[in-house]
Amino acid sequence: MTILSIQNLRTQFAMRAADVVAVDDVSIDVEAGECIGIVGESGCGKTTTGLSIMRLLPGNGKVSGGKILLDGKDLALLSEKDMQGVRGNTVALIPQDPMTSLNPVMRIGDQIAEGYLIHRGASKEEARQRALEVLRMVEMPNPEERLNQFPHELSGGLRQRVMIAMALVCEPKVLIADEPTTALDVTIQAQILDILDNLRVELNMAVILITHDMGVIASRTDRVIVMYAGKVVEGADTKTLFTKMHHPYTQALLSSVPKIEDVAGGRLSSIPGLPPDLSKTIVGCRFAPRCAYATDECRENEPPTEIAGEGHTYACFHPTNGFTPVEVQINEARKVVDAVEPLMKVTNLVKEFPIRGSNIFRGSVGKVSAVADVNFEVRKGETFGLVGESGCGKTTIGRLITGLEEVTSGKIEFTHTKTDGLKKGELRRALAQERQMMFQDPYASLDPRKRVGDIIREPLEIQKRLSKTQMNDRVTQLLSEVGLPLAAAERYPHEFSGGQRQRVGLARALALEPSLVIADEPVSALDVSIQAQILNLMQDLQESRGLSYILISHDLAVVRYIAHRIGVMYLGKLVEVGPADEVFSRPFHHYTQGLLNAVPVADVEIARTKRGDQMKGELPSAVNPPTGCRFRTRCPVAAAVCANEEPPMVELSPGHTAACHFPLGGTPVTIGSQDK
């Protein structure tokens, strides 16, 4: 039964220069109890589609055409007051960021109960009971206590459970989940998506899952709509879309996703260019400028929507049929890694942050053990990947190596730079030439008032070793190396896209020709197609310059794709280190296994077989970490010895070490199997 039918929806935003049509002629039918995914890059109109249904567009946006039929009634014709009766009652929304989507000054219980009070006319006590009931439905630990807590007392994962509970309180027929797990760790993501799945079946809800993550789409949806520049370019059931896609954009999107199950580090195919500017009139197919198959026909006429089969539609003149076998280019950089010359060594690294008490004199009442006795080395020309859930200490390690934080104890040594006897300023300048950082958020990490050229030049000016002309030459050379036009030097960061800014960030990091670049989530703020461009660029530069990287990321697929060796961190401890392929295919530590199980795979067959067995619980507090093995509280095989004795790091196969009393034995694990 079709519960929601969107027909020829058109949504536009009034901008200063012109009206931007963000959603253009979009039609989607949603059946009761089904999960339909909307996927596409940022700016493709997927979120706007969701907000159009709820009529929650920002002030300058409006639905200017089409119908939104809910149970046969057109929502577009409802008065604002009637629409209030629909929101949160028959159609509910789970927004992207649970950290900012809860009212900070209102108790959890009141926030959840509010919808029930409004729509069901319930008494305060009834609404409170209902709030408790839905908190239990979303498997919230200690639900009674939560009712009286405020949002800041909960972790991100728990807050997202609250958001789901809030959306479910009136048992809506349609649930719009807009990137519901993007802000969460993979292990928590898996828990949240499981809850959503179970409740969808239990309540026979239709779920519209808006996401950019192909893995989430593959594992959770029944049907998929692919959007590009405000249009639906392809729609099909999930399996068909992943195997027999017809639109080149779908194909390109899927090829640019790094896949965790890939064994060899093939080069990612990226989509050249950027999506079109929607404030300008577009002639022809919107994807044509970036499409490998585009012809003059595509550039002149807009392709009509064709029907390929049962529920499979696409809009393209030159449909493909599934993946065209792409020539796998074996990644040279990855092969060079036989080089074993150590570049940097970290010994017994410890970082503790004091906690100031709320007592009168704010004395130190404890400490957060952010990094606890970590040892590893990075070799010349290799990429060392650091992975783990947020709060595991991976970013702190990056900051310690870059000198942005001071170590509590332990050593960070570079083979080629002797630091003994150097004065503070000399030390800073010497180490600046050894390691540089590439930051996570390209929007926040570049000074908006400086020209790009000046941003790249600044490290050189601090070193005072080059003449003015030499510095200018260096900037010019760096810009061309990272693939930016020379004119970029005279422009300001806001004139560039996210991907281009990250190129600037990389150029700045390379200005002093460091031997090591610490890249902290370098692509997590970028769309997949752009992400592939940056990752490929990083590899090219590694090859041409013999660079080493420490790649810090929560995205295991990205790390798998680019790293030669991987370190897995859990709650301040390094629990497993080894060659990338081995860590991913034959992990020793149960935590590594758990992480791998939680990663959504962008492949329908694999994704469907690996559901169900997920790591339970959340990361414990680093203030009082568990005794012995820190992972024991979430470990499936924990025994008494794990609580009493901290497992030492042991080499279990050549170059592959793990800290576990009961290692998995290195038996080959195909991704998705659940043998323990």
CB 53 to other proteins: min, Å: 11
Token match 């050189």: residue? 460
Interface with other proteins (CB under 8 A), residue from 79, 281, 358, 467:
358
Q: Is 357 in the site for other proteins (CB under 8 A)?
A: yes
Site map (CB under 8 A) of other proteins, residues 51-80, x = contact: ---x-x-x----------------------
Q: Which is nearer to other proteins, 362 or 418 (CB)?
A: 362
Interface with other proteins (CB under 8 A), residue from 17, 121, 310, 359:
359
Q: Is 104 in the site for other proteins (CB under 8 A)?
A: yes
CB 463 to other proteins: min, Å: 38
CB 274 to other proteins: min, Å: 26
Strands 312-314, 231-237: pairing is antiparallel
3-state secondary structure 31-68: ECCCEEEEECCCCCCHHHHHHHHHCCCCCCEEEEEEEE
In 3-state terms the chain splits into helix, strand, coil percentages (rounded to 5) of: 35, 25, 40
Window of 103-111, 247-255, 432-440, 621-629 that interacts with other proteins by CB under 8 A = 103-111
Q: Which is nearer to other proteins, 40 or 95 (CB)?
A: 95
- Strands of the sheet with 409-414, listed across from one edge: 364-379, 342-356, 409-414
- Phi and psi angles of residue 203, each rounded to the nearest 5 degrees, phi first: -100, 0
Near other proteins in 114-153, by CB under 8 A:
114-115, 118-119, 150, 152-153
Distance CA 466, CA 250 (A): 48
CB atoms closer than 10 angstroms to residue 646: 15
23: Cβ contacts below 8 Å, ≥ 6 apart: 9, 10, 11, 45, 48, 49, 52, 230
Contact 574, 540 (CB under 8 A): no
Q: Which is nearer to other proteins, 114 or 302 (CB)?
A: 114
Token match 């080499």: residue? 651
Q: Which is nearer to other proteins, 86 or 207 (CB)?
A: 86
Q: Which is nearer to other proteins, 116 or 591 (CB)?
A: 116
CB 124 to other proteins: min, Å: 14
Q: C-alpha distances in angstroms, 185 versus 188, 220, 521, 569?
A: 5, 17, 13, 14
- Strands of the sheet with 35-39, listed across from one edge: 91-94, 174-178, 206-211, 35-39, 223-228, 231-237, 312-314, 306-309
Q: Which is nearer to other proteins, 151 or 567 (CB)?
A: 151
Interface with other proteins (CB under 8 A), residue from 362, 418, 616, 676:
362
Q: Is 543 in the site for other proteins (CB under 8 A)?
A: no
CB 137 to other proteins: min, Å: 17
Q: Residue 18: enclosing H or E segment and its boundaries?
A: none
Interface with other proteins (CB under 8 A), residue from 4, 30, 102, 530:
102
CB 163 to other proteins: min, Å: 8
CB 391 to other proteins: min, Å: 18
How many residues in total does the chain contain? 676
Q: Which is nearer to other proteins, 59 or 325 (CB)?
A: 59
Token readout for 97 is 């960021």
Q: Which is nearer to other proteins, 18 or 118 (CB)?
A: 118
Q: Is 428 in the site for other proteins (CB under 8 A)?
A: no
CB 183 to other proteins: min, Å: 11
Longest alpha-carbon distance in the chain: 79
Interface with other proteins (CB under 8 A), residue from 25, 29, 97, 458:
97
Strands 409-414, 342-356: pairing is antiparallel
Near other proteins in 77-96, by CB under 8 A:
81, 84-89, 92-93, 95
CA atoms lying within 13 Å on the CB side of residue 75:
24
Interface with other proteins (CB under 8 A), residue from 1, 17, 105, 640:
105
DSSP state of 89: T
- Using CB atoms within 10 Å of the CB of residue 102, give its burial: 0 to 12 exposed, 13 to 18 middle, 19+ buried: buried
Q: Which is nearer to other proteins, 99 or 466 (CB)?
A: 99
Amino acid at residue number 379: R
Give the residue among 152, 121, 147, 150 at the shortest CA–CA distance from 134: 147
Q: Which is nearer to other proteins, 92 or 484 (CB)?
A: 92
Interface with other proteins (CB under 8 A), residue from 2, 103, 129, 480:
103
Strands 312-314, 306-309: pairing is antiparallel
Near other proteins in 156-215, by CB under 8 A:
163, 166-167
Q: Which is nearer to other proteins, 101 or 476 (CB)?
A: 101
Rg value, the chain, Cα: 26
Near other proteins in 14-33, by CB under 8 A:
none
Q: Is 366 in the site for other proteins (CB under 8 A)?
A: no
Window of 251-259, 350-358, 503-511, 600-608 that interacts with other proteins by CB under 8 A = 350-358
Q: Which is nearer to other proteins, 118 or 339 (CB)?
A: 118
Q: Which is nearer to other proteins, 78 or 274 (CB)?
A: 78
Distance CA 537, CA 539 (A): 5
Q: Which is nearer to other proteins, 166 or 596 (CB)?
A: 166
Count of residues in contact with other proteins, rule CB under 8 A:
37
Distance CA 395, CA 371 (A): 10
Window of 50-58, 242-250, 280-288, 450-458 that interacts with other proteins by CB under 8 A = 50-58
What are the residues binding other proteins (CB under 8 A)?
Answer: 54, 56, 58, 81, 84-89, 92-93, 95, 97, 100-106, 114-115, 118-119, 150, 152-153, 163, 166-167, 356-360, 362
